Structure 1
Amino acid sequence: MPAIPHATPTPVARLAWLDALRGIGAMAVVAEHLLPWFLPALRPYWFNIGVYGILVFFLVSGYIIPTSLERHGDVRTFWISRIFRLYPLYLTVIALALALAWWVPVREQVPRDGTAVAAHATMLLDVVSVGGVVDTMWTLSYEMVFYLLVTALFLVGGHNRSGSLSIGFGVAAVAIGLVVPGALLVGPWPAYVTCAVFLVGMVFVVWGRFRTTAACVLGLMALVALMFSSRVPWLGAAVVAVMFAGTAIHRWERGTGPLWPVAVTTALVAVAPLWAIESGWWWVRADVWWTTIVLAGATFAGGMALRGRRLPKVLVWLGLISYSLYLVHHPLLKYFVEISGDLRWSAVPYQLGMAALAVAAILAVSTLTFLYVERPMQVVGRRISGRSARGLQGRGQAGMAGERPRHDGILGHQERQVPDGVRDHVREGDVVG
């Protein structure tokens, strides 16, 4: 991964460059799905533009989430905010896809039984080998795994070992790839068990009683699912390694950790698919995979290098609506193609015009869903979590039975320095999208 200038950025600049990176990542994923349908001649094969965008997102999440954990907020506040941040749009998109299934059928990878409900309820889709109603939802599985892991680590005081954790997951990615041909825990029960554990565990985490125990159980559950029931286990471990590498970069930037674990993790992730039993896709060929990793790392490094400068407003805005972009673009493209017909063999000028029209529609709908679904529900979540936090303060921050008050904090929002309604997307530490 390219070297990153060692300096302490100002808070506002740091937020802008993170938004810009999200905007780049979101549009890269949009391009990955748009080009094969609209402009197949322009699709690059020397790197995977979709995986590139996803890796940028994972680095951003790893960079900001655990360090926010250590600065502000509490566990209850974080999870209430997360629920209101993630689920409203997520459920809206699912409802839309199901409502229009008479026109564009739900893809075959989604089971037609209770496992689909259980897996979608937790967002742990890919780690229990269940297809999402919307294709891009698979990455949310790894964001959720990461949230559960860092929650448990923080509550037991293990959150400062991000460098070691990134290397550990990198080693796991290589080892699993060498010996595991696919998910070892198969069938419907992983989805049902993880759903039950998730729901009960979240009750205790938010309620406060036995919080540390519940968080540790959830973290262990996430780890077992990641390693043994993921659709591609080595890839799941590699993804989490990348996220902890993002945390290690932040610690190095702050002078609280070395940078060499990031280099070691990069090397491990780079070689993980080369000898993996479960492999063979074009995007994990050495030349393609390595180029994709280098470009993602270079983009992240470039964002850090420019964090003290004024960035293009369009990139910041794209980052602000990136969760909407990520979730709505793929179903919208499917609906667009149903109307326009197959464009792959059309004249290039016509393809360009239709692609521009599709992108405009995606941006318009994503803006609307951000303004009228995401942002209002974020406000509701902040109000509820704010009342919860005031309730705790009213009790003198005494904590709940069975918990240590000094551990009652996670994933706070260093973004609160920015006015409401302007930076809501960054405010929550954000997920892929």
Structure 2
Amino acid sequence: MAAPTHTVPAALRPAPSTVPPYRTDLDGLRGIAITLVACFHIWFGRVSGGVDVFLTLSGYFFIGSLLRHAIHSQAPHVTLRDTIDPWPRLKRLLRRLLPALFTVLLAVAALTVVVMPQTRWLNIGNELIASALYYQNWHLAFNSQDYLAASSANSPLQHIWSMSVQGQFFLGMLLIALIVTAMIRLIARVVPAAGDPRTVRVVVATGVLGLAAVSFYWAHMRMSVNQEFNYYDTLARLWEPLVGGLLAIWLPTWRVPRWIRNTLALVALGLIITCGWWIDGVASYPGPKALVPVLSTVVIIWAGATALQKPRPGHDDPQSLPAVNRALASAAPVWLGTIAYSLYLWHWPLLIFYLTWRGKNHASVVEGVALIAASLALAWLTKLYIEDPLRGGSRPKHARGTRDGHARRLGYVSVMTTVLVVATLATGVGIKLWDRHVGNIVVDTTNLDPRLYPGARALLDGAPVPALDPQPTPLMVLQDFPETSTDGYMSDFTDPAIHVGVYGDPDATRTIALIGGSHAEMWISALNTLGLRNHFRVTTYLKMGCPMSTELVPKQQGVPYPQCHDWVMRVKEKVIADKPDAVFTNSTRPRDDEPGDWVPPTYTPIFDEFIDAGIAVFGIRDTPWPKNRKGLIDTPTCLADGGTAESCGSPRALVLAPTDPAQALATTRPDFHPLDMSDGICTATLCPAIVGNVIVYKDWHHLSATYVRSLTDELGRQMALAVPWTGPPSS
């Protein structure tokens, strides 16, 4: 039932102590926030702002509690040991947070084995560990995973980033607060005024305000530097709970007419509910636009708290909460608020596993309703049988008030705690064993029988394809790297060095320099063979995500990558100084927002500098990046999930222009030689995921080394037509 409109629920009435009255309306606000989070995730594919409400409320309650501890600790009867002992509060935190989290993590581990293809086990396993140890936000940040609309390709644990941020906030603030409290206590021995509650409040407020200001500046500044990382960054998020904490430290007691408080609270609630539609949270939070849900939460807290202040003559009755706060304190929002934590934990994994099981990227209205109903049921059961008993907040009704009932409750708590701990430890061990298994996979397909596994020769030469399972397997193909990666000649994203590898015939008098990023690197598996066969040397100058381009501020997955430009300029000068006979690099890229591929205008100045230096240029057309009308395709995962060469393939017209866009460059540059392997990867209409019993791609868009080797003869034929010394053309 809704709370009566003419009175305040008992839980909202002022308590005769320093502890503020329990705010049932804030439970209701939690309920609204989790509803927004779930609905926006399931139906709208947007960030709602509900997480920002959670963070603000967490800061309000937690810092308020720490402030009361700091003030109470200055009393003479409180020992220094009690002042600095973190365990009582830490124990309460662990009992409140871990049982439900570990329950969901164990369910995710089981469903991963049942529902997810093996190619995804390792990534999800690592996220299970990151989630259990509260660093999931950093794991996602460093792996550049966008928090976008749900799809079957998303991680079922991606949402735990916010739990990790809150856990880090709780632990960090707890340790800082205990240290500051102890310092104030020691100073108060010399300067008694330092222990005055007002002084303590000013000291704490100053520290919180300063830290919030630093965090807010960091969040705003990092938006233009690396927003994908910034979204998950604890320091960038810290200001949100700290704003709530500032309100707990200093809650204005202004006597404001009820109609004004009600209007402000109504506007604030409206902003919280609607901001997910008109603010792009992924691109904007936790920058200044996050002030909308954060300050709206602050207004609602203030509006209800002001009504609870002691009245002055001629002012509103303190028992009259604003209508918005009374509505939030009604039964339905409050019930949702009491299960908000478990509901947050459950709704996202259920959505992702369902989409994966059905092979869909979006849930329909009916499916979404069913998912929310299932999430509500699981959240309620988790609270009833996991959270409350293990927190110590409830026991079976039939056993209350009896010694036997107390023993039963202790037995239940002991059993459940043991099960959760043992199962979680077993899951961690299993993840590590799987990690070791995958890490120890060695892919050696150099001696595959070409009659059984013709690969590209099936398309180019019409070679027969016997009915065999493809090689490498979907799991093994993940480790099917080009030689330069396993030999250590590929600079990673943070490595500015130029690592020159030598392949082919190292004693040859002619040299081809393979230069660029990973889409140039993958051709080393064919060039190495051609060099050995036709007696030329191959030198490599390679860096992850760094094609040869004059772009001043290149980006990697939307993130500025300034180191790439510096590396390209240094490599260009080094290659010209080394004076190879030719360079081999990418000449095209797929278009981002429309079908086909093109020659970026920042590529051609590099080509021209090499040509002007007397170095011929082999421009290899980039291979198709697998996708269909639904989006990008992770080929190994698609195949491991039961897909076929056709269902996991890409329509050719979607990924390639009708002809090689780089051909036009050859008409004005005689020393530019375009190479196009597209007909060895695609039919006239489709670029299949499996060709000639060989899996074409090792991940989202890199050819497997096995498939590249099957293209060796065709690559050599095209190179020899342009530059005869690279090998005799095929007859």
> Normalising TM by the smaller chain, what interval?
0.5 to 0.7
Q: Is structure 2 residue 204 aligned with structure 1 residue 170?
A: no
Once the two structures are superposed, the pairs formed by residues 133-172 of structure 1 within 5 Å of their partners are: 134-157=157-180, 159-160=204-205, 161-172=207-218
Report the alpha carbon displacement of residue 136 of structure 1 after superposing the two structures with TM: 1.1
Partner of 1:119: 130
Cα separation, 2, equivalents of 1:152 and 1:326:
27
Which sections of structure 2, spanning at least 5 residues, go unmatched? 1-11, 70-81, 146-154, 181-202, 254-278, 308-320, 396-731
What does the per-residue CA deviation read over 1:24-54, in whole Å, with 9 as the maximum and x for residues that have no partner? 1111110121104xxxxxx6xxxx543x001
Cα separation, 2, equivalents of 1:254 and 1:159:
17
SS in 2 for 1:10: coil
SS in 2 for 1:156: helix
Higher helix share: 1
Q: 2:64 aligns with which of 67, 77, 84?
A: 67
Partner of 2:300: 302
Report the alpha carbon displacement of residue 284 of structure 1 after superposing the two structures with TM: 5.1
SS in 1 for 2:112: coil
Partner of 2:91: 80
Retained in 2: the 8 A contact 1:17–1:304? no
Q: Is structure 2 residue 370 aligned with structure 1 residue 354?
A: no
Retained in 2: the 8 A contact 1:137–1:327? yes
What does the per-residue CA deviation read over 1:140-198, in whole Å, with 9 as the maximum and x for residues that have no partner? 121122112212221221744211211121122234445x548xxxxxxxxxxxxxxxx
The one of the two structures with greater contact order (alpha-carbon pairs below 8 A, sep at least 6) is 1
In the alignment, residue 323 of structure 1 is paired with which amino acid?
Y
Higher strand share: 2
Cα distance, 1:247–1:81 mapped onto 2, change above 3 Å: same
Cα separation, 1, equivalents of 2:163 and 2:339:
16
Retained in 1: the 8 A contact 2:230–2:286? no
Partner of 2:103: 92
What does the per-residue CA deviation read over 1:116-144, in whole Å, with 9 as the maximum and x for residues that have no partner? 56533421121244787522111112112
Cα distance, 1:344–1:177 mapped onto 2, change above 3 Å: closer
Partner of 1:236: 234
Partner of 1:193: none
Please identify, of 100-109 and 122-131, the stretch whose mean Cα deviation from structure 2 is larger: 100-109
Q: Is structure 2 residue 348 aligned with structure 1 residue 330?
A: yes
Which sections of structure 1, spanning at least 5 residues, go unmatched? 1-7, 37-42, 183-229, 256-280, 346-350, 383-433
Retained in 2: the 8 A contact 1:88–1:374? yes
Please identify, of 286-295 and 12-21, the stretch whose mean Cα deviation from structure 2 is larger: 286-295
Cα separation, 1, equivalents of 2:252 and 2:126:
43
Retained in 1: the 8 A contact 2:219–2:287? no
Q: 2:331 aligns with which of 298, 313, 323?
A: 313
Partner of 1:10: 14
Retained in 1: the 8 A contact 2:231–2:282? no
Retained in 2: the 8 A contact 1:81–1:381? no
Cα distance, 1:106–1:77 mapped onto 2, change above 3 Å: farther
Cα separation, 2, equivalents of 1:362 and 1:290:
32
Retained in 1: the 8 A contact 2:57–2:297? no
SS in 2 for 1:253: coil
Report the alpha carbon displacement of residue 69 of structure 1 after superposing the two structures with TM: 1.7
Partner of 2:113: 102
In the alignment, residue 103 of structure 1 is paired with which amino acid?
V
Retained in 1: the 8 A contact 2:128–2:157? no
Q: 2:246 aligns with which of 240, 248, 273?
A: 248
State the identity as a percent.
25
In the alignment, residue 168 of structure 2 is paired with which amino acid?
V
Report the alpha carbon displacement of residue 15 of structure 1 after superposing the two structures with TM: 2.2
Report the alpha carbon displacement of residue 312 of structure 1 after superposing the two structures with TM: 1.6
Cα distance, 1:114–1:137 mapped onto 2, change above 3 Å: closer
SS in 2 for 1:101: helix
In the alignment, residue 150 of structure 1 is paired with which amino acid?
M
Cα separation, 2, equivalents of 1:142 and 1:286:
18
Retained in 1: the 8 A contact 2:104–2:346? yes
Report the alpha carbon displacement of residue 16 of structure 1 after superposing the two structures with TM: 0.8
Cα separation, 2, equivalents of 1:121 and 1:287:
25
Q: 2:381 aligns with which of 364, 368, 379?
A: 368
Retained in 2: the 8 A contact 1:172–1:234? no
Retained in 2: the 8 A contact 1:63–1:247? yes
Cα distance, 1:287–1:116 mapped onto 2, change above 3 Å: closer
Once the two structures are superposed, the pairs formed by residues 21-32 of structure 1 within 5 Å of their partners are: 21-32=29-40
Cα separation, 2, equivalents of 1:176 and 1:288:
10
Retained in 1: the 8 A contact 2:56–2:241? yes
Report the alpha carbon displacement of residue 232 of structure 1 after superposing the two structures with TM: 3.1
Cα separation, 2, equivalents of 1:173 and 1:288:
6
Cα separation, 1, equivalents of 2:304 and 2:117:
42
SS in 2 for 1:21: helix
The structure that has the greater radius of gyration is 2
In the alignment, residue 177 of structure 2 is paired with which amino acid?
F
SS in 2 for 1:148: helix
Indicate the RMSD between aligned Cα atoms, in angstroms: 3.8
Report the alpha carbon displacement of residue 78 of structure 1 after superposing the two structures with TM: 1.1
Report the alpha carbon displacement of residue 18 of structure 1 after superposing the two structures with TM: 2.1
